[in-house]
Amino acid sequence: MSDPHAICTDFSAHFALRPRILVRAPGRVNLIGEHTDYNEGFVLPMAIDRATYVAARGRPDQTIRIYSSQFAQEDQFSLHGIERHPNSTWPNYVRGVIKGLLARDLPMIGADLLISSDVPIGSGLSSSAALEVAVGYALQVLNNINLLGEELALLAQGAENSFVGVQCGIMDQFVAALGRANHALLIDCRDLSYRPIPISPDVRVIVCDSGVHHDLADSAYNERRATCNTAVRLLKTRIPRLSALRDLRPADLESHADLLPPDVYMRVRHVVTENQRTLDAAAALEQADLATFGQLMNESHRSMRDDYAISTPEIDLLCDLAHAVPGCYGSRLTGGGFGGSTVSLVTLSAVEAFTQQVAQGYQAQTGREPTILVCRPSEGVGRLM
Ligand code: GLA
């Protein structure tokens, strides 16, 4: 549900009072730069016009009550001693963020929160970051706390790392907090500097959700991250200045390849080449050179499939189907991988043909219907009321 009026009515139905504020935080799609954020590299995501909404009102006590419209479930806890929810995942995103705020010694009151979202879960569109950032922002407003966008993003990432247990990088939370309408953000994940890059109004960014999400995706993600850390440790024995894979030049990788087991070498090669592709793609987008941008997307996909080994047959099929549509500049897996979605850049006049052909082809070959979203680059977190 994304109608502000309906969300507020729903809040009143649950908590018997009107909400005081309504906050919106968007999902995101990454155009290029995958698994580079936790290697202190570059990413190029955009916030999308699908979002998580939090209607909220302060309480005079120290209790937090939450109702999730999506799950039709409630959660309630005290601000004193927040623990992990024993058997449900979504409350942990909220609990983790609030615990993070408390850890900063910020005085906080209790609150009633109603959460509603139209970011599909498990599609690689960062429904979790949208939730974390929306909740963090809402509590910040209720408690007159003033965090910068970067700080809010770090707080949200910290919640996911330590409370939910996914060792994600900063990309999703950063763009949920600081996304810009009609732009993608080129983010340097080392120093968190960023540059908004306009997306031409003549193209659309299309997300195709494969409908396949692997249960082990989170642990496989953590495993990739651990492999990158191992690679840094091994390479450091000969390149002492190396503090993250971001520092590794392609030539360095080739001269020290003997230090790495073959699969580790391939993972590192993805990261090193993906960083360069992301910078090149941002430059191409800035010059509205969409053909080059599309080629880099395609190369990125091959690298994720062959070197980083995070694609699936369904995702590869979606990319192949996209490549066959005239007017599609490029297509690739987006997000953490092991299922989820592809992102494609498509010229405006080809959007309808793209949607039809990809949907038909996918259904014919897998028996599944993909969910296809034509996304608009949207604004980061903000208050609607
Ligand atoms: C997930 C993580 C991000 C990033 C991507 C891969 O979305 O949350 O931090 O690592 O995967 O690029």
Write the burial class of residue 339 (CB in 10 Å: 0-12 exposed, 13-18 middle, 19+ buried).
Answer: buried
Mean pLDDT for 232-245 is 97
Backbone angles phi, psi at 54, to 5 degrees: -125, 115
CA 336 to ligand 1 center in whole angstroms: 5
pLDDT reported for residue 2:
83
pLDDT reported for residue 265:
98
**Secondary structure class of 56 (helix, strand, coil):** strand
Does the residue 252 lie in any domain? no
Write the burial class of residue 4 (CB in 10 Å: 0-12 exposed, 13-18 middle, 19+ buried).
Answer: middle
CA 350 to ligand 1 center in whole angstroms: 29
Is residue 253 scored above 80 in pLDDT? yes
- Is ligand 1 within 6 A of the CB of residue 67? no
- Is ligand 1 within 6 A of the CB of residue 337? no
Does the residue 15 lie in any domain? yes
Q: Per the residue annotation, which of 10, 75, 172, 307 is the catalytic one? A: 172
How far is residue 58's CA from residue 145's CA, in Å, rounded to a whole number?
A: 13
Q: What is the pLDDT of residues 188-223, one digit of tens each?
A: 999 999 999 999 999 999 999 999 988 778 899 999
How far is residue 385's CA from residue 375's CA, in Å, rounded to a whole number?
A: 24
Is residue 106 scored above 90 in pLDDT? no
Catalytic residue at 172? yes
Does the residue 246 lie in any domain? no
Ligand 1 nearest atom to the CA of residue 126, by list position: 7
0.85 exceeded by pTM? yes
- Is ligand 1 within 6 A of the CB of residue 160? no
CA 379 to ligand 1 center in whole angstroms: 20
Number of domains in the chain: 1
Mean pLDDT for 178-197 is 98
CA 95 to ligand 1 center in whole angstroms: 21
Q: Above pLDDT 90, what percent of the chain?
A: 95
DSSP lists the bridge partners of residue 187 as 43, 194
Q: Which domain holds residue 142?
A: 4-198+379-383
Backbone angles phi, psi at 257, to 5 degrees: -55, -30
Q: What is the pLDDT of residues 135-144, one digit of tens each?
A: 999 999 999 9
pLDDT reported for residue 113:
98
What is the length of the chain? 385
pLDDT reported for residue 218:
87
**Secondary structure class of 320 (helix, strand, coil):** helix
Does the residue 254 lie in any domain? no
Query: Which of 43, 127, 172, 224 has most ligand 1 atoms within 8 Å of CB, for mutation?
Result: 172
Q: What is the pLDDT of residues 344-376, one digit of tens each?
A: 999 999 999 999 999 999 999 999 999 999 999
How far is residue 12's CA from residue 10's CA, in Å, rounded to a whole number?
A: 5
Query: CATH code at 27?
Result: 3.30.230.10
Give buried/exposed letters for 94-103 (b at 16+ CB in 10 A, else e): bbbbbbbbbe
pLDDT reported for residue 152:
98
What is the sign of the dihedral through the CA atoms of 188, 194, 200 and 205?
positive
pLDDT reported for residue 71:
95
pLDDT reported for residue 334:
97
Q: What is the pLDDT of residues 40-98, one digit of tens each?
A: 999 999 999 999 999 999 999 999 999 999 999 999 999 998 999 998 999 999 999 99
What is the sign of the dihedral through the CA atoms of 173, 174, 177 and 182?
negative
**Secondary structure class of 77 (helix, strand, coil):** strand
pLDDT reported for residue 1:
66
Does the residue 64 lie in any domain? yes
- DSSP one-letter code for 261: -
Does the residue 212 lie in any domain? no
289's tokens: 């050179």
Does the residue 148 lie in any domain? yes
Does the residue 97 lie in any domain? yes
